[in-house]
Amino acid sequence: MTSEVFAQAVRSYMYVGIWMSISITVILFNKWLLAFAGFPYPISLTLWHMFFCSTVGFLCVRVFKFVSSHNLSMADYSSRVVPIGLLYALSLWLSNSSYLYLSVSFIQMTKSLMPGLVYICGILLKIDDFNMYQACNMLLIALGVLVCAFGEVNLHPLGLTLQLAALSFEAARLTLVQILIKSKGIAMNPIQSLYYISPACFVCLFVPWTQLEAGEVIPLLMKGEVEFPPVLLLVNALCAFALNLAVFLLIGKTSALTMNIAGVIKDWLLIWFSFSVFQAPVTMLNLAGYVFCCAGVAVYNYQKLQKMKKQEKGKLARKDTVDLEKNLLGKEDREYRDGKQSS
């Protein structure tokens, strides 16, 4: 039994390590392309990711049939998938845009706000109930991010606005996934998610791309004037695709709670990489505020774990009650048959 527990722990750490490695690679890769490699085109980069993911999803589902399709009708696709795709497109676009103005370390610190934003969206869309204790905890996390902002040496107002907007759209997307997809019993693996959501993202990004970046990016790529080998764009898209698979692998083999805890460790590693690789200044006030945020996120994760345990106990109690009722009914039925036979 001990060896099984040890093997399971090793596998869990392996999944965490794979996800953290790929996630860190994608974030640093995007930062380098957008801010240091002479390719300051966040819509183009995001559009390219969505085109690549849409192509892979189509090949896997429709051509090679590795994965089955949900066969959603056009009405279901428009009402359930397109709103999620639009929010995802806005989140990725604005998040990538913030790399032009903010350091990787500060961007990771602001992501501590995500639980609070998801909680607010849940209350607004009536899938969560207001809880004063939880609301106070979210307020403390926000205060920690505010301290991080005061300690940020190169704080850029536009970059901060873009990042906060990106987090808000991502929180709304996660909430809509609960309402429009999971509540209807539709379960999607990563390939199915790419197949359905990536094309919607691509279409939503294509219009602003034609207006804002196409006129500069197309001549740049056609003339080969980029400062890096164009093949790196393919490598970058492959990394983004691998990240989608790694997220599914981590949640499927462990839990979303494990991912949240591992995310805190990943953020600290990214802060260190940002400081050492990109020479982004990190002040003691930054770190103090982020420690405060991490404490709030730890409390949030603990509350979430306790809620999950309570729900699990409730399910077990209901199951025991149902089993007891079945046994009693069976016993009464047997007694009735026995009495009837004896008479």
Q: What pLDDT sits at residue 1?
A: 47
| Sequence-distant (≥ 6) Cβ neighbours of residue 230 within 8 angstroms | 221, 224
Return the closest-CA partner of residue 41 out of 221, 173, 229. 221
CA distance 216 to 41: 9
Q: How far is CA 223 from the centre of its chain?
A: 36
Q: What pLDDT sits at residue 323?
A: 58
b/e sequence 264-298, b meaning 16+ C-beta within 10 Å: bebbbebbebbbeeeebebeeebbebbebbbebbe
Task: Judge contact between 84 and 173, C-beta under 8 A.
Answer: yes
Phi and psi torsions of 311, nearest 5°: -65, -40
- What token pair was written down for 70? 């949900």
Q: What pLDDT sits at residue 306?
A: 78
CA distances (Å), origin 82, targets 54, 78, 158: 14, 5, 28
- The structure tokens 């009708």 sit at 73
For the chain, the first-to-last Cα distance in angstroms comes to 54
Phi and psi torsions of 206, nearest 5°: -65, -40
Q: DSSP readout, 27-81?
A: HHHHHIIIIISS---HHHHHHHHHHHHHHHHHIIIIIS-SS------HHHIIIII
Burial class (CB in 10 A: 0-12, 13-18, 19+), 212: middle
Q: Chunked in runs of 10, what are the mean pLDDT values of the chain (343 residues)?
A: 68 84 93 92 95 93 87 88 93 95 92 88 87 86 90 91 95 87 75 89 95 93 85 93 82 67 83 84 88 84 76 65 58 54 52
Which run of H or of E encompasses 262? helix 256-277
Which run of H or of E encompasses 296? helix 284-342
DSSP 3-state of 165:
helix
- The structure tokens 């929010």 sit at 87
38: left (phi over 0), alpha (psi -120 to 50) or beta: left
